[in-house]
Structure 1
């Protein structure tokens, strides 16, 4: 048996999920060359979200996520995502052609992110919380990576930036295919395979419902912040819109969330996953409330607030997955996580689109649009964080 499979899984997650925001890393060029608006960049992001939702619904409701080896699903979907992403770079010449290709990338990612979580649980169920913290940390870096590639590439064309993400996803597929599945979630010989609708059994478990409702509130804030990060940077004194500094700062603000995930995984061993999630939700809610006032602050203070927000906003995410995986029956872990993701990402579509449309008129006050998410998440998670639950 592989001695330490977690590093392989989390690095593959980093490389595979670089596909997610590859268009956002090239947003300034797309706005200029295609003559589109910031709201349409939000629409491009939502095409990925919608594809991911449809994909996770298919995997979750059909039971496919638990019918076939997770490593094979991950590898096939990473390769498909790489191909669709490359087609976007090479052939898209406007928003009409780009939207279906970004949808296809999102659909492919439905076999990467939730199946990566299942791989973790299958290999190391006894330390799923800290391991999932590493996984989501790498998802966060993967999300930030297109901004970093764009910043490092300098004068690269936007197509080159996007194609780098495709190459990384191919490498991710090879890594996971070589690793294979862990021994802990393999179906017993002769056991029936999950069919359509079996996943709904998870929703009869109160602990699963509490974790899922916390996750849904968290998702209202998370991807909207990641999408709006370049705009929020340009609102204040940090950088002007279109400057290379926007890409570098966006990479820092999104990418620092990986440190939040790693720190939260360590902390969860002491106070429990539910309480770590609650602390992160409270911190990000505070940032939502403060940011509109920060526009008048010195640039250094505004940057500190944005970095702290980026740190806190995703630190809770792995703990929702760990709590949900712990609560639901083992035979439907993959399907339950996929369905939870589907609903959560459907929520992100609303907040992303609203934020992208309203930011021009609301300015920094758009942060208040995100505030109900962490507040409602704290309320939904209350049955779990009022007592210590360690995963």
Structure 2
């Protein structure tokens, strides 16, 4: 009997060598394109879970009285959960030891089910807050793990690949505001739609293949995460990321409230809220588009240089937002849209820099730890923002957000000088 294995012919059998190489290259490009497309779409769907409660908070308040502290916890609870989950994943090295696409799928499906529990939990109660914390913890197995998959597909175009993924994250984060607008007064529609999106993300992730630069750690090694402090390049990339995160989620969480308060000084409150929601979606979605473009540019002029430009613009927008608060709508909206456009594209470059400097088998854990520290900081700013705004006004709160980009700017200038020298 002929050997079955030998009887199978490869797609390139009998072809000249140069045609075989061309066929394999084309096939590899097709697989890469499909995998990255599926991954990006899954991120858009899964990250819609993040702000599913924040987007419908006004409708929840119309149904049930919720204290200011609990209102903030419904939003910042996701950050707390994400930090706890990311720390656990990074310390255990799970993104580098488990098949990342399967880990992504499992976490997205579980997060969707937990998010759906908001439909039966008392509005604003302990169970609802616990569900938001659990959702955040599970999303730590989605976003950082997705970056681990993306960096495994390339080195020269790594800035673009991670930028595409962060752009998907941004669009996913913005989507609940649009769903809430379409859902009208029934906040349960938004929760249902985002939960279904999370389940769809899990199915999409199962179709994602791993790239040729993917590396898996053979065993658990706690020393992998200590590289964040022993390698000065990674330490500076972390510092830039922390400065960036100081403002990012505060802007995403409270831009709508800030604009609604600003618009209400010139129009009826019932008209101000829908306009603020549309403007918030446009501002956050603009950042998603900027991520992709910035990634393409970063692969050509340098990741640190793109981060420097983004930090400078977003910091300036924070000051401009404070100065124009209460002004004409046609002035306030462009400032916030530019802020949304510039506040996120550097995020991908900080992660790509860590992946560049880290050993491939440690990149997943180090990027996960990076996001854990950054999101720990966002808990402070997200929780403090409405308190500062209530005590001192929105203009001062918006201006204080410029401190983060200023800190990150110093770190990235130092990193660029290191690279040049």
TM-score band w.r.t. shorter chain: over 0.9
Structure 1 residue 374 displacement after superposition: 0.3
User: What's the counterpart of residue 52 of structure 2?
Assistant: 22
Partner of 1:304: 334
Structure 1's unaligned 5+ residue stretches are: none
Change (3 A) 1:241 1:338: farther
- The alignment partner of 1:94 has SS state of coil
The 4+ residue runs of structure 1 with deviation greater than 6 A are: none
Q: Which residue of 1 aligns with 2:16?
A: none
SS in 2 for 1:316: helix
1:79 corresponds to: 109
Structure 1 residue 6: deviation in Å?
1.6
- In the other structure, the counterpart of 1:62 is 92
| Alpha-carbon distance between aligned partners in 1 of 2:218 and 2:203, rounded to the nearest angstrom | 30
Give yes or no for contact 1:222–1:314 (8 Å, CA) kept in 2: yes
Looking at structure 1, the residues matched to 416 and 156 of structure 2 have their Cα atoms a distance apart, in angstroms, of 20
Are 1:222 and 2:222 an aligned pair?
no
Pick which of 274-283 and 379-388 moved more: 379-388
Partner of 2:14: none
| 8 Å contact kept, 1:57–1:338 | yes
Q: Give 3-state SS (helix, strand or coil) of 1:126's partner.
A: coil
How many Å separate the matches in 1 of 2:58 and 2:405? 30
Residue number among 119, 129, 132 corresponding to 2:159 in the alignment: 129
Aligned twin of 1:385: 416
| Inter-partner Cα distance in structure 1 for 2:344 and 2:32 | 28
1:159 counterpart residue number: 188
Report the 3-state secondary structure (helix = DSSP H, G, I; strand = E; otherwise coil) of the residue aligned with 2:206: helix
Question: Residues 142 and 38 of structure 1: is their aligned pair in 2 closer, same or farther, counting only changes over 3 Å?
Answer: farther
Q: Cα offset for 1:240?
A: 5.3
Deviation at 1:348? 0.4
Equivalent residue runs for 1:27-106 within 5 Å? 27-106=57-136
CA distance in 2, matches of 1:61, 1:197: 9
TM norm structure 1:
0.94
Decide whether the 8 Å contact of 2:178 with 2:281 is kept in 1. yes
1:143 corresponding residue in structure 2: 173
Q: CA RMSD in A?
A: 1.8
Structure 2 unaligned spans of 5+: 1-27
Please state if 1:255 is matched with 2:285: yes
Alpha-carbon distance in 1 for matches of 2:189, 2:183: 9
The answer to whether the 8 A contact 1:34-1:95 is kept is no
SS in 2 for 1:14: helix
Against the structure 1 CA distance between its residues 199 and 241, is the aligned structure 2 distance closer, same or farther, given a 3 Å change threshold?
Answer: farther
Residue 34 of structure 1: CA displacement?
2.4
Query: Counterpart of 1:203?
Result: 229
Map residues 168-247 of structure 1 onto 2, 5 A cutoff: 168-187=197-216, 192-237=218-263, 241=269, 243-247=273-277
Distance 1:287 1:382 in 2: 20
In our comparison, the structure showing a higher alpha carbon Rg is: 2
- State the distance in 2 between where 1:197 and 1:385 align: 27
Which region of structure 1 is more displaced relative to structure 2, 142-151 or 352-361? 352-361
Contact 1:18–1:169 at 8 Å: present in 2 too?
Answer: yes
Contact 2:227 2:234 in 1 (8 A): no
- Structure 1 residue 246, shift from structure 2 partner: 2.7
Deviation string 1:230-285 (CA, Å, 9 cap, x unpaired) is: 11111223765563333222211221111221221122133211111100000011
Shift of 1:26: 0.5
1:283 counterpart (310, 313, 316): 313
Structure 2 CA distance for aligned equivalents of residues 296 and 102 of structure 1: 33
Q: 1:92 to 1:370 in 2, by over 3 A?
A: same
Q: Cα offset for 1:19? A: 0.5
Residues 243-252 or 139-148, more deviating: 243-252
The structure with higher relative contact order (CA 8 Å, sep 6+) is: 1
Correspondence list, 1:259-274, <5 A? 259-274=289-304
Structure 1 residues 34-43 or 200-209, which shifts more? Answer: 34-43
CA distance in 2, matches of 1:89, 1:346: 27
Q: Tell me, what secondary structure is at the counterpart of 1:179?
A: coil
CA contact (8 A) 1:31 1:38 kept: no
